[in-house]
Amino acid sequence: MINTTPDSFSDGGRYDTTENAFRHARQLIDDGVDILDVGGESTRPGSRNVDLDEERERTVPLIKAVRGVSDIPISIDTNKPGVMQQAVEAGATLINSIWALQLENSLEVAAELGVPVCLMHMQGTPETMQKNPSYTDVVAEVMDFLRQRIDVAIKAGIKQSNIIVDPGFGFGKTLQHNLLLLKSLAKFKTLGVPLLVGLSRKRMIGTILDKPVDQRLYGSIATAVIAAMLGADIIRVHDVPQTLDAIAMVNALNETEFE
Ligand code: 9MG
């Protein structure tokens, strides 16, 4: 994934110019990434909105540049209908919505654009979500929310085959909530659509290992392996070659049958 915001928590804002972000995109493509996620607004806890023009400037030229050299699927991580529209016109092929298309007009625009959408669960907003996350039954509540958003999306005209869901690790969740969700990941397969997870370099890994963001590679790989073994279809990562090796081991195991 590429976050072009100067305050991106996981990349330290290293890809805040189109040129730097493009160089990074090429590296990720060479590394074997399947989908490139491009975002122009930070989603880290406590982050604030950026305005439409700024977000568009951070993402659309990059998508155009990548499209000029590759036909790799590109996901646009945005909640603004205006950015969705221009990103898809520039060549994005998937909309990643941490708001599960709940913000004004985003559902209608996504349906109109006809591309796949990722609907993510979040409690609160990025600005407030880590203040006091609270659930009675985190797994049931996150699953209910995603089930409802799938229904709403289908009613708005988005095909079921174009819907992906994501429990939203770290988005309004304590460490315990994140661990319960990860342990229960296989249950999310009953929603009947592909499952995306993003755990890479997140705070839950830092808390368990007591490590800063730049020392979370092994923890991130471990979570990717756990998620893949429990049925995740798409895994959002920063460290592509390392994670691909780990997932190749999971795939080999899954493909092995007793004779
Ligand atoms: C943008 N972004 C940051 N973390 C994410 C996650 O876990 N899932 C999705 N869909 N998007 C994310």
The answer to whether residue 236 is catalytic is: yes
Q: Which amino acid is at 127?
A: E
* 120 Cβ inside 6 Å of ligand 1: yes
Would you write out the chain's pLDDT as a tens digit for each of its 259 residues? 566 655 455 665 677 789 999 999 999 999 999 999 999 987 777 777 789 999 999 999 999 999 999 999 999 999 999 999 999 999 999 999 999 999 999 999 999 999 999 999 999 888 888 888 999 999 999 999 999 999 999 999 999 999 999 999 999 999 999 999 999 999 999 999 999 999 999 999 999 999 999 999 999 999 999 999 999 999 999 999 999 999 999 999 999 999 8
CA atoms within 13 A on the CB side of 78: 35
DSSP letter assigned to residue 162: G
- The confidence score (pLDDT) of residue 234 equals 97
pLDDT at 6: 52
pTM tops 0.85, yes or no: yes
pLDDT score recorded for residue 15: 74
- Cα distance between residue 8 and residue 203, in whole Å: 13
| Atom number of ligand 1 nearest to Cα 168 | 7
| Ligand 1 pocket mutation, candidates 5, 74, 77, criterion most atoms within 8 A of CB | 77
pLDDT at 13: 66
Q: Whose CA is nearest to atom 4 of ligand 1?
A: 198
Atom of ligand 1 at shortest distance to CA of 96? 10
Q: What is the pLDDT of residue 43?
A: 78
Counting ligand 1 atoms within 8 A of each CB, the residue from 47, 96, 202 with the most, and so the one to mutate, is: 96
Does the annotation mark 187 as catalytic?
A: no
One-character DSSP codes across 181-244: HHHTGGGGGGGSS-BEEE-TT-HHHHHHHT--GGG-HHHHHHHHHHHHHTT-SEEE-S-HHHHH
| Ligand 1 atom closest to 120 (CA) | 10
pLDDT at site 17: 87
Cβ atoms within 10 Å, residue 256: 8
pLDDT of residue 21: 93
Q: State if residue 55 touches ligand 1 by the CB under 6 angstroms criterion.
A: no
The answer, yes or no, to whether any atom of ligand 1 lies below 6 A from the CB of 43, is: yes
DSSP-derived secondary structure letter, 102: -
Give residue 254's pLDDT. 94
The rounded Å distance from CA 199 to ligand 1 centre is: 8
CA distance 110 to 85: 8
Check 201, 202, 203, 216 and give the catalytic one: 202
